[in-house]
Amino acid sequence: MKNSKKTAQPSADVIPIFGRDEMNLIEFPFGPITAGSAKTFEIEHTVIDRKLKRPVNRKLLITGSDAFGLPKPIDDQVLIGMKALTSEAGFQSKTVYFSRYHLCRTLGWAPDGRSYKRLEDAMDRIAGTTLKFKDSWWDKGESEWTSKTFHLIEEVSLCSRDQLDRKRMEQGTATLPLCSFVWSDVIWKSFQDGFIRKFDMVMWRKIASGRRREVPLRLYRVLAKRFFNCTSTTMKVRRLCVGTLGICRRNSPSQLKRILQRAVDWLIECGYLREARFQQAHNGELEVVFIQAHAMDRKSKTAKERKQPGAPSPLMQWFRKLPQEKQSQLMNRALEYCKEHRRDAFEGYQRNQAEAGPTFEGYRELVLEQFWRSRSRSQSDAA
């Protein structure tokens, strides 16, 4: 992280548009969907090893601490937020500084006392959970399946209310201390090896806003990985529900189908899926075919526009109508402002400028929006 100061920064107002998701943590559930008294949770996948050319078992054993227990579905959300903040910092350091206010806004939560307590409880469970991957952790740097036992984070430091109150009395609100967490060596190596994928935080927050969001959120992450270079994917229902989403294995096929259908309906309503069809495989096992939204006319220009994170805002529509010279002048002024006051937006623009893709367009809009808001506030104060 370029700026290692442990004090609050103005850039905390910027909500990440995109994040990164670690690929190993998608294939296995980070704990069960339903709460229980068990302190361990084991998942096993039987797959065909391409090199060995025979079936192999890949296992994950999750062990919760005595004090905090197994991870809960809400911990998945907090992990996504933590990875989004790490991505915004450019993966510069395994130690990431943040404010609870900014993390809550990243997750789409109300920044209040209840949400702060949820963050603290989730981070306690994450820090206290041991993951044991048996021949199931893909090491991209070594290009091999490995066995690893580790914690996702080595350390977490959350500022207490008393600590914040003391700092306010001593130094004022401009230099409030930040919280921090430290990624473990194993997960950090995977980040550095590039075993991560782009993650649409706008769609993720939209899905997270619904009721019974635990299964849709996990399903969205799985499908986003499967849709990397295709528009449809077929999966076995039991393997998906039990082995990847963490649904109780005691459910019957009809119950699993009903749970999965509810999640599919919400993803369709959110605009991510076009449809999902259940069918019987040749061996009689129940399968489901997922089709991404707008997949049938993906090659058309209209579908390509729909796949953007959102339609152009009125501000961007106005900006694009300006002469090229005016656009350049306004953009330079906006970048100068964000470089000083909205560092996250400025660095995101700089990182993605060479690609000139949807991510860059998102940050360009964010830079202009932050600059325009600053001008509006200045004019309001002058009035």
Any idea what the CATH number is for the domain that residue 269 is in?
Answer: 1.10.10
Q: Domain for residue 102, yes or no?
A: yes
Is 52 a residue whose pLDDT tops 70?
yes
Residues 368 and 224 reside in one and the same domain: no
Residues 233 and 168 reside in one and the same domain: no
Q: How many residues does the chain have?
A: 383
The pTM (predicted TM-score) of the whole model is: 0.73
Confidence at residue 175, expressed as pLDDT on a 0 to 100 scale: 62
Confidence at residue 34, expressed as pLDDT on a 0 to 100 scale: 87
Confidence at residue 199, expressed as pLDDT on a 0 to 100 scale: 87
CB-based contact 101:11 (threshold 8 Å):
no
Residues 17 and 133 reside in one and the same domain: yes
Domain limit, last residue, from 292, 326, 341: 292
Distances (CA, A) of 150 to 145, 147, 153, 186, 197: 16, 10, 9, 7, 22
Residues 69 and 177 reside in one and the same domain: yes
Residues 124 and 55 reside in one and the same domain: yes
Confidence at residue 240, expressed as pLDDT on a 0 to 100 scale: 95
Domain limit, last residue, from 236, 261, 292: 292
What would the mean pLDDT of 343-364 be, rounded to a whole number?
A: 77
Residues 257 and 199 reside in one and the same domain: no
Q: Domain for residue 382, yes or no?
A: no
Mean pLDDT is highest, among 104-118, 308-322, 329-343, for 104-118
Confidence at residue 311, expressed as pLDDT on a 0 to 100 scale: 60
Question: Could you give the CA distance from residue 343 to residue 187 in angstroms, rounded to a whole number?
Answer: 26
Question: Could you give the CA distance from residue 69 to residue 40 in angstroms, rounded to a whole number?
Answer: 9
Domain limit, last residue, from 151, 181, 208: 208
Give the phi and the psi of residue 186 in degrees, each rounded to 5: -65, -50
- Locate all alpha helices (DSSP H) within the chain, ordered by sequence: 24-27, 73-88, 100-107, 113-128, 161-171, 185-193, 201-208, 214-226, 237-238, 253-269, 301-306, 314-320, 324-341, 343-352, 358-382
Could you tell me the pLDDT band of residue 133, with boundaries at 50, 70 and 90?
A: very high
Helix axes 73-88, 214-226, angle to 10 degrees: 50
Residues 117 and 241 reside in one and the same domain: no
Q: Domain for residue 116, yes or no?
A: yes
Could you tell me the pLDDT band of residue 355, with boundaries at 50, 70 and 90?
A: low
Question: Could you give the CA distance from residue 284 to residue 39 in angstroms, rounded to a whole number?
Answer: 35
Dump pLDDT digits (tens) for 180-195.
999 999 999 999 999 9
Q: Domain for residue 302, yes or no?
A: no
Q: Domain for residue 27, yes or no?
A: yes
Q: Domain for residue 337, yes or no?
A: yes
Q: Percent of the chain, pLDDT > 90? A: 55
What would the mean pLDDT of 90-114 be, rounded to a whole number?
A: 92
Residues 277 and 325 reside in one and the same domain: no
**Number of domains composing the chain:** 3
Dump pLDDT digits (tens) for 147-188.
999 999 999 999 877 777 777 677 665 566 789 999 999 999
What would the mean pLDDT of 220-231 be, rounded to a whole number?
A: 91
Using CA of residue 188, residue 192, residue 195, residue 200, what is the dihedral sign? positive
Residues 227 and 196 reside in one and the same domain: no
Residues 246 and 184 reside in one and the same domain: no
Say which residue, 380 or 242, is predicted with more confidence: 242
What would the mean pLDDT of 82-107 be, rounded to a whole number?
A: 93
Using CA of residue 246, residue 247, residue 248, residue 249, what is the dihedral sign? negative
Is 231 a residue whose pLDDT tops 90?
no
- Read out DSSP for 138-179? EETTTTEEEEEEE-SEEEEE---HHHHHHHHHHH-GGGPBPE
Query: In 3D, which of 200, 228, 229 has the Cα closest to residue 359?
Result: 200
Confidence at residue 12, expressed as pLDDT on a 0 to 100 scale: 46
Cα 219–250–136 angle (5° rounding)?
55
Question: Could you give the CA distance from residue 16 to residue 103 in angstroms, rounded to a whole number?
Answer: 10
Residues 199 and 155 reside in one and the same domain: yes
Structure tokens at 367: 């830079």
What would the mean pLDDT of 346-351 be, rounded to a whole number?
A: 81
Q: Domain for residue 305, yes or no?
A: no
Residue 55 bridge partners (DSSP)? 48
Q: Domain for residue 4, yes or no?
A: no
Q: Which domain holds residue 252?
A: 214-292
Question: Could you give the CA distance from residue 117 to residue 155 in angstroms, rounded to a whole number?
Answer: 18
Distances (CA, A) of 64 to 29, 42, 129, 297: 14, 12, 5, 46
Confidence at residue 340, expressed as pLDDT on a 0 to 100 scale: 83
Residues 57 and 195 reside in one and the same domain: yes
Distances (CA, A) of 205 to 17, 155, 263, 272: 10, 27, 15, 12
Q: Any idea which residue has 């996990």 for tokens? A: 218
